[in-house]
Structure 1
Amino acid sequence: MKYGSATFMRRYRKPSSETRHIRPLTVKAWLWAIALASVAIAASSFRIVLAPGFELYLGPLFYLLAYRLGGLRLALPMAVLTTGASWFWWGHVFTIVMALGHVLFIHRARFFTQSLAIATFVYFSTIGAVAAILFLHFHYEASPTIMMLAIIRKIINDVLLAAIIDLVVSVLYCNLVFGGVKLRRNVSLSELLPASINFIVFTSALLLFVNSVYHFPREFGEYQQRAALSVELRIREGLINDRQFLGFMEVDSHTVAPNKLFITDRERLAKTPAIMQQFNCSIIDDGTVVTGPNDRNTFAYWMDACHLARVVVNDTTYFYLYSTRPIAESGYREVLLAMIAPSIILALALMLDIFIVRALRQSILAWKVVAEGFGQLNLSPPPKLFFAEFDHPVRAIVAANHNFAVVNDERKRIAQAVSELKQQMDLSLAADIRFDETTGHLVFNDISLNRIAQERAHLVHPNDCLAFSDARNNPEAFIEFRLADDEANEWYLLVARDLLAPGRWRSGWIVRLRQSKLAQNRMLQQARLVELGGMASALSHELKQPLFTISLCSENGRLLIDNGSDESIARAYDKFDKISEQINRARSIIARISRYARIDNSDPEPLDIAEVISTTMNFMRPLLVQHDVKATVVCPDDLSVQLLATRVGLEQVLVNIIQNAVDGIDTRREAGAHTMVGAIEVNVAMIDGHLIIALTDNGTGLTMSRPESAFDAFMTTKMLDHGTGLGLYISRQILMEMGAKISIASREPPETGAVVTIDFPAFALVEKERNQEQTHEEADRV
């Protein structure tokens, strides 16, 4: 990017008034516009006369303000309206044409400057000056002194008014459409500084100009007094010496060249064209009021006027006539000489202002380029800036930028690597983690290195909301959960730290557990196979009995058939019926084992809890018989709900708990209670809308200090060849999927043993009647 001021102007200039779309004005805006236009026309109709030929007026103030507000289309008619009074003052349209040229020049000059004051100075010191010299020479035959003073007066008047507009617009914002004015919240330094400098410089120039002009009327009056005294002395001297005193004479002055006078005792003779031609004047200034163009307040009047005065000597009135042009020329020359030094200083100040503004805008552009390009490796330092307050910081920032760019580039690479790693791990860094128990939504801010943190909300699976409720007060929470709308049923792990309020943590992370549903089912199936391996001895005994019966019955049947009697044949049929019965029994045993060992891919279904417990007890009967353990089931007959769960998963949980109870009973027997009768009791009850299953045994109970640690993976108190430590861990995982909770505790003394409690919430239960009605409706539809 270039740093030149031309580039800055092309890039950052304000839209031109031609391309600016003016929307229809509101009623308030119309009222404001009419009021301001009326004030502008009224104020522009008055001129501020400092001295004859030195006039100030406010017309440029209003048409320049109109240009700032509405552009060219508003400024041109306003220029005609506010300078139209000059035609009545001076009898020409030159001022109106100059105002129109002024507006057009400013409109074209917007490409190199936004300052109305600078554009106005350039216009009136070039185009305006040439036009004024030509007009004054051919229309008024004005001297160079008057031409220079007219140009200086015009520059001071119009540039000061333009500086006032620049200063006001830099501080205030004017809305033409809505008719409002308000203070700007942010002020542009590149506009305020030159506007302030121009205002101060041209205000000082105006004060110097006013001070110089102040002496002009006094010198005019002094000359009139000297002329009157000289005429009176000549008349008296002529009367005393009887010498001719009527006619032409010269009056000497220290400030004015010798001026010719005409003395007469007849007023009509002084006003004759011949006498006036002698003085090259066309106007008689005798004190009467002059109206219309070129009145007594204009320089043209005094350049063409002859002053007619009277003096009374010895009761006789004498009249004298002289041209005011030499006097006016002398006064104008004095003012010009007094303004030469201020004009030079003014021009130098304005050039310094232009230089400072240019340097300031280059510095601001350099700041902008550095600010916009910060972080880029190819950011080059700008050319040396004029202001040290800009140059040193900009170069320091550019130097620091290179180091930052390297670090930033490295950060981007690290962020990309982290992003790829997060994508591969499906990891989310979280802040302000919140769980809403009423809606089941998990809300957190997802943090990333390459973007702004985004708030995310996920609906948690209803069966996993209890896990969040249990951990809502934990300073460090480890929660496994699923999403309600995730058909793949993927598991996620939330690790949250720094508890801010119940259910709200400051930070943490969420990762998807890389374990598919099939892999999870295989793990559960492997656990069931391990349990079946532990039951191998009991199962072999269970199968030996029907096999032995089959063998014995087949041998007896063969012997009875060999006898050939009717009674023997009837008894043989009896034996074969027993063989079929034992085969069905063995088939049932094998079916239960196969069903328990298979991979469970079934969906939750309404289950009769009493039937599931009965099936589980039948499956575990060989183990219970082998270890001499008595099992009792207590289940209400009027249970009106069914459990919404997977059959194999629930059976696996019950099998694992019963297996642990049997192991605990054996451990207690080995410890000394050899004659103890093992007992396991299963109680089912409805408490506060929850289905509670409590499995109680009379084994050794818990030996660990923290009962909840029994559900940790690989946590076991058994011998190395009696368990893996995954049974209760897997049981908890299965129950979490169902939305249930599991707990374990030792029985209250003096009783010995453990109590495992399974709590199914209300949403995991369905009414039996509803399920039956749905079954009937489905049957009717079929």
Structure 2
Amino acid sequence: MLNLARPREQVTAPAFWPMAGIAFAAAVALSSMRLVAAPGFEFYLGPLFYLLAYRWFGLTVGLVVAAATMAPSILWWGHPVSVLLALGHVLVVHRLSRGQQSLAAITFFYQATVGVAAALALVWVHYRTPIEVTAVVSLRKILCEIMLAAIADLVTLALVVDPVQGTIRRARQFGLQRSLEAAVSIAVAGAATLFLLGELHHVGDRLAIHEQEVAQVVADLGRDEPFRPGQRATLVLPGARAAMPYVIDRTAAIGTAAHRIGCARTDTGEAGPDDRDTFAYWLTMCYVVPAGPGLSAAVAPQPHVLVLFGDIVRGVTPMMIYLLIAELGLLAFGRAIRRSMGLWETALRGFGRHETLALPHAPFHETDALLRAFVSANNDYVVAEQERQRLSRAVSELRSAIELKLFGDVGFDPAACALHFVKIDPVAGERRLSFPVHAADAGQFAASAGKHDVMIEFRRGDGGDDQWYLLLAHEYDEESGHWRYGCLIRLRTAKAFQSRMRHNARLMELGGMASALSHELRQPLFTISLAAENGSLMLDAADPAAARVAAKFDRIIEQVERASSIVQRTSSYARLERDEREPTNLVQAVHDAIRFMRPVMTERSIQLFTELPASVPLLLLPRIGIEQIVVNALQNAADSIDAAREGGRGDAGRVSIALWQGDGTITLTIADDGAGISEAVGNRAFDAFCTSKPSGKGTGLGLFVCRQIMDEVGGSIALTPNEGAPGAALTLRFPMEEEA
């Protein structure tokens, strides 16, 4: 696409260097002209041209143009001081500007120091010029060169010259510091220049008035006492601060007489205009006024001229002081801007390196507030980025460890018995994938439909019964029937976890059986031991067989004691296992038990509902025992639901678990809608070997062991029928006095 706006901003000059040569020649020609703005105020354009050349073409060209444009001053004043000052000016600008400091500011300090020193050394010492005139000359030079340097600043800010490409274009942006310094310099120096021009313009008018006053005083003196040729004296005007020498002579010889009092020329009002444009004219001329018949008086007004120039210097001095203060302020402002820019550059570089930054203190309140906000945002971003990288590494490690899969648009297809989801791959892009689900686990997905946050454990449906997976899905969309986000985790330890729980269940049941058997066997063993002892005492010692019978009774007593010892050790072992307590989170224990039993519930198409708080106080409990109580309760609930279905209740299949904290207790209820409590069991549900299950399906020790565990922790357990509904509820209450 063509950029039609470009020609308006950039001009390609085919004859760039020839045009530059013509411009150089024109600059030299214009610099050869001494421009007079007011009597005693002359200037030249050389500084403008060599500063532009330096900005556009570099140091070498700047030095060449400075020498060429200031060379005519050698013809004017007979010395190369102006050329040397111009070369030094370019070198100082090159040393100090670095593309940021304005030309006007550097020029001010250069001319106020080096330029003034050169003027004092040359004008005052070499030409013996009075200090008042030397001061005016120095101020004129400073103001002229500041104005020209400020103009050069504005020109180079507006136009950009590329000598390599041979192009000239308008600048799209302006440097804030240089623009401000140039504008302030032009404003202040321009005001001082206008004041000086006005004062110098009025020097001729004031001297004309002064000449009339001198003529009147001379005329008055001549009437009082006639003058004689060759008479010399001093004249003091009323209110004047200095006396003026004068000489009386014939009018035809008055020029020669004026020389005797130091006047190089006479002012009769007929002198050419060029004579009045220099300071030398005012310092070396004499008034010529009538002094009588055929006589004239030549009066040297130099004292009065010096007073006038002194007044001009004193008038412009406040403005020069103001200019100095302005330049110093601009210098400080420029340093503050550069410091602010440096802080921004440091902050931006730190942002590029993703590093935390120290809070800076910028010179300007606005910059400081903005910079602090940027640094704070950068540091927050760096911390977030570090956390993101840490999480990314953790996710990568987690993915490799558990085969974590992250995806979106998760839905379950009952017909295909498969999960469908969309996976975003950085390389392959969006991919739609499917994951088979075991038919026995499909009921969990149907029961979870409509829930915004679900956690479902299931098996892979392509023959991998050993492979268990956990689906976490979030934000259910009613219209599509899908979850927006989800992840899939392979449960590598599911088999080991189930084996451990089954092993713990068998150990717990054996412990319960040992405890129950120890209670049931103690009485018959005691009876056998007592009968043996009584039988031994009843033997007749005279009977020849009594000794053999007594030996048998002793062996019976010995074996009974051995059996009692075995039962005691077994009972102690079982009790020791249950007494191992640890700080236990009941919510987590219930979740672990549910996780273990969920496959059983899924296989039997039993819906499991939970109402659990986020957390409860930790209690000192046998964690494995508590988990086994919940597992036993869920197993009994499942068996009860199966019994209800066999009895003709096809709608049975719901188990609810609720946990809440009350006054001093934590209560856990596990309710089902199964067959309920059998009449044959009644209130003996917690007795050992009491069961309503068919032979071979239950030992009758599950609830018995549960009660023992609850008794040992100081809690209570109760099995009650549901009010107004089928099924039963197991209620556990844990005291909080044992809170860890």
Task: Calculate the TM-score normalised by the size of structure 1.
Answer: 0.47
Task: Calculate the TM-score normalised by the size of structure 2.
Answer: 0.49
